[in-house]
Structure 1
Amino acid sequence: MRLVLALLLLAACGASPAPDMFGSERSEVTRGGMDFVVFQKGSEVEVVRMGYLSRPDRARVPSLMAAAAQTATGCRVIANSMATKIPGDTGVARFALDCRA
């Protein structure tokens, strides 16, 4: 019973930013049929992909994450700025932004 309760609580949590992104502006964006949560703090953005994907579906995620970041922030994502904590991770990524416009 406790396990079921714990799983229900975790499922209801949704996405939250990394500690250094606390205080960021949160947005929810759908791109290419995938849902993303975007956290912007200054000229940096953290994008979290929601939901499960099979391995073959993950190849298109980095470009969709960049598009979600641009849509949510109105800023341009700086080319080749994507960083992940785990190489090849398609669940969470950071991008640098150029908000001069």
Structure 2
Amino acid sequence: MPCALLPPARLSLAALILLAACGASPAPAFFGATRHDVQIDGRAFTVFRKENRVEVIRLGYARPAEREAIPEQMLRAVAKATGCTPVEASFQGDSGERRGRIRC
């Protein structure tokens, strides 16, 4: 059945499935970076490391009530993935994606 003939609900579901299959992709500044997939408190994160810079991406949905804890979980994900100390003050972003520096 062509996409144009799919009901909106089915089309939306198909789009979500395709997006979920893509996984996390780095920002252009992190192309060629080393990728690490880690779990913190049951939540999945992908960490891209390029020298002393990192990008951390939360995978999956987080309800608004859960988002307050995510920045700290992201820092723990960076530490677990790299074995280095995240420079907390350098991190910028939101509960879905943050970038910052590490100290090894």
The normalised TM-score by structure 2 is 0.84
Is 1:56 matched up with 2:65? yes
> Which structure's residues are more often strand, by fraction?
2
**Residue in structure 2 matched with residue 15 of structure 1 by the alignment:** 24
Is 1:35 matched up with 2:44? yes
Is 1:66 matched up with 2:75? yes
The normalised TM-score by structure 1 is 0.86
Report the structure number with the largest CA radius of gyration. 2
Question: In the alignment, which of 87, 95, 100 is matched to residue 100 of structure 2?
Answer: 95
State the identity as a percent: 44
Quote the offset at 1:80 in angstroms.
Answer: 1.3
> Which structure's residues are more often helix, by fraction?
2
Alignment gaps of 5+ in structure 1: none
Q: How many residues align?
A: 95
Letter paired with 2:46: V
**Residue in structure 2 matched with residue 80 of structure 1 by the alignment:** 89
Give the secondary-structure state (helix, strand or coil) at the position aligned to 2:75: helix
d(CA) in 1 for partners of 2:75, 2:29: 20
Alignment gaps of 5+ in structure 2: 4-10
Quote the offset at 1:64 in angstroms.
Answer: 0.4
Quote the offset at 1:7 in angstroms.
Answer: 4.2
Q: Which runs of 4+ in 1 moved over 3 A?
A: 3-8
